[in-house]
Each structure stands twice: as C-alpha cells, then as structure tokens.
Amino acid sequence: MNKKILGLAIVAVVVCALAIFFVPPLLATPQVTPRELDFTVSGTNECLRFLTSTVSVCYVPIATGANENWQLTINCTEMFGGANSWTDVYIYKGYWDKGIDYKCMSKDLYPIIADIESADAQIRGDIPFMASFGGSIPESYTVFFIFPPGGQATFHVTLKQV
C-alpha cells in the first residue's frame, strides 16, 4: 500500500512541475491573431487628463506571435500649435480593443487605468513616435494617446511586421 501512495505522490509532483513550466506561456498567448494596421484617426479635447471621463483617446491594440517583431509608427499630420505641439504616449501590457475605430473615451479605460503606464515618449508635431514590439513568446500591448486640446489633431498610424 505504501508503494502505491509513494507512486501517486511522485506522479502528482511531476504533473505539478510540468504545469508550472507549460501553463504560464499558454496563458500569455494573445487572444487575437497578429495583424498589420494602417489607419488615420482625428479628434480634439478640452484637456489632457485620463481621469476626466469625456477625454477622447486613440488606442492601438498590438498582438505579436512568437519570434515576431512589429514596428509601430504614429505620425502627426495635423496638430494645433504645429511643430511645437505634442501629446504623451501610454502603454498597457495587454490587448484592449473595446472602442470604435481606434477611439474611445477615457471613462472606457477606467477598469484598466491602474495598469496603463507612461511610455516616457511623445508624439510631436514634427517627430513621429516609433516603437518595436515582439520577442520569443506571443505578447499583447495597447498603446494609447490623448488627442491634444486646442483644435483638431490628425494622426497616421501604421503597425507592420518587420
């Protein structure tokens, strides 16, 4: 009887060890297929605060496959204030696509607001934002930026596999 219990205990330990190594990568797999994006989005705001519920936000959902590299470029084609204008870029380490035509209101982001971090980058009137995503495992990100106040702003967004 003791041999059966010992055998079952060893099997249980092996199964647990395998689960520790193989389940987390499966859970990290994006729920969507990686795809290229190319769109133009426009908007305006009264202020630049996420916590003001009616602030208009642009989002770019990104999913990468294993061993894939993707290049995101955001060019400002029109912004009040010209070349000296800017807006900050934020990133969420997860896939969020609950807006319409890559636009949402800041109140839509309240459930994930604590997990959105500054990317320590800006989109300037004369300098595009560029970032690379990808690695050895599938990953998901969402890049956000707030339409700046003062007048209509237009941005051209591309996401391409490189």
Helix (H, G, I), strand (E, B) or coil at 149: strand
User: Residue with structure tokens 């055998």?
Assistant: 7
Same domain, 19 and 65: no
The pTM of the full predicted model, rounded to 2 decimals, is 0.80
Supply the pLDDT for residue 18. Answer: 45
Same domain, 86 and 113: yes
79-130 pLDDT, tens digit per residue, is: 988 888 899 999 999 999 999 999 999 999 999 999 999 999 999 988 999 9
The tally of domains found in the chain comes to 2
Same domain, 42 and 16: no
pLDDT, average across residues 143-152: 93
Give yes or no for residue 71 having a pLDDT over 60: yes
Same domain, 47 and 98: yes
- Owning domain of residue 18: 1-29
Average pLDDT, the chain: 87
pLDDT, average across residues 44-52: 85
Helix (H, G, I), strand (E, B) or coil at 101: coil
